């Protein structure tokens, strides 16, 4: 039986086993590169995380975290969301965009939790995705970060990078999730999601990735999509650890401008 082959970082063909080994090497490097990777939505309970994730659609985690402290103070249970005054909640959610639709989702989410789950958030993906406002991506965020159930979160960064890495050749988020699940050990799924997202925000940008200052350069088939010269690449690094990222890639951290450290990361 002939195993499927794909392009490798050096233009050769790659077996499925070879791709799995390379993916796991890259995953280990990502763990070393982004030791601070974590869920960037603030929450203290599973319900709070579910709400924050619903609100994160079409906006940034930073904006959501600005809104949720007051929201969580006023609404502490599924019953509170189910009985919420629509105009009051819309006022609170207005900064997140699409506030009317999000208000509708949260009220219906509260009602559904009361009707189907005694007010508690379920721990099974099939039950989560049946709730208003919660799709597969949101469900995996909740499972992985609130319940410690491994899950792969396929957002725009994860989709872009896993294709660039040559792990998949696919646009459909669900297909990407299952394909990556075949490459990476289940225990690592949740943290891998965070690390890939961090890498996408800080290093592997959509339009111009910092290839010459990337710790994955030697294993990435898309090396050269962005500038490979150290000085040019270092200027593209973003975030509070931009200079640490340069050091990890063997690049002089002094090439990273102060503005890059202070610059907001990609949403």
Q: DSSP string covering 247-262, please? A: HHTT--GGGS-HHHHH
Q: How far apart are CA 245 and CA 256, in angstroms?
A: 10
Q: Which residue do the tokens 């900064």 mark?
A: 95
Contacts of 146 (CB under 8 A, 6+ apart): 43, 45, 46, 49, 50, 121
Predicted pLDDT at 261 = 86
Count helices and strands in the chain by DSSP H and E runs: 14, 2
Percent of the chain with pLDDT over 90: 91
137 in catalytic set = yes
Q: Which of 61, 102, 137, 238 is catalytic?
A: 137
**Terminal Cα-to-Cα distance of the chain (whole angstroms):** 44
**What pTM was computed for the model?**
0.90
Question: What whole-number percentage of the chain has pLDDT above 70?
Answer: 94
How confident is the model at residue 98, as a pLDDT?
A: 96
User: CB-side exposure of 184: number of CA atoms within 13 Å?
Assistant: 29
pLDDT(242) > 50:
yes
Catalytic-role residue among 42, 155, 188, 208: 155
Instruction: Give the CA distances from residue 127 to residues 23, 139, 140, in Å, rounded to whole numbers and listed in that order.
Output: 31, 9, 12
pLDDT of residue 13: 83
Residue 5 above 90 pLDDT?
no
Q: How many residues does the chain have?
A: 267
How many other β-carbons are positioned within 10 Å of the β-carbon of residue 89?
21
């Amino acid at each position: 039986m002939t195993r499927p082959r794909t392009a490798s970082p050096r233009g050769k063909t790659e077996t499925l086993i070879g791709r799995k080994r390379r993916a796991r090497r890259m995953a280990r490097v990502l763990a070393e590169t982004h030791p601070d990777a974590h869920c960037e939505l603030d929450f203290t309970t599973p319900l709070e995380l579910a709400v924050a994730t619903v609100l994160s659609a079409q906006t940034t985690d930073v904006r959501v975290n600005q809104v949720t402290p007051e929201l969580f103070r006023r609404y502490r249970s599924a019953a509170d969301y189910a009985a919420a005054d629509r105009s009051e909640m819309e006022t609170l959610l207005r900064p997140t965009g699409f506030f009317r639709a999000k208000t509708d989702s949260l009220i219906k989410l509260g009602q559904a939790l009361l009707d189907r789950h005694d007010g508690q958030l379920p721990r099974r993906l099939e039950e989560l995705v049946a709730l208003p406002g919660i799709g597969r991506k949101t469900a995996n965020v909740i499972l992985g970060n609130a319940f410690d159930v491994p899950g792969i979160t396929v957002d725009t960064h994860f989709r872009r990078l896993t294709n660039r890495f040559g792990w998949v050749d696919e646009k459909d988020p669900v297909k990407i999730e299952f394909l990556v699940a075949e490459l990476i050990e289940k225990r690592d799924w949740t943290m891998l999601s965070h690390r890939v997202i961090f890498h996408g925000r800080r290093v592997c940008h959509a339009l111009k990735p910092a290839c010459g200052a990337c710790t994955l350069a030697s294993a990435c088939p898309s090396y050269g999509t962005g500038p490979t010269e150290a000085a040019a690449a270092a200027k593209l690094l973003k975030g509070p650890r931009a200079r640490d990222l340069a050091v990890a890639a063997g690049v002089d951290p002094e090439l990273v401008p102060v503005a890059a450290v202070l610059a907001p990361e990609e949403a």
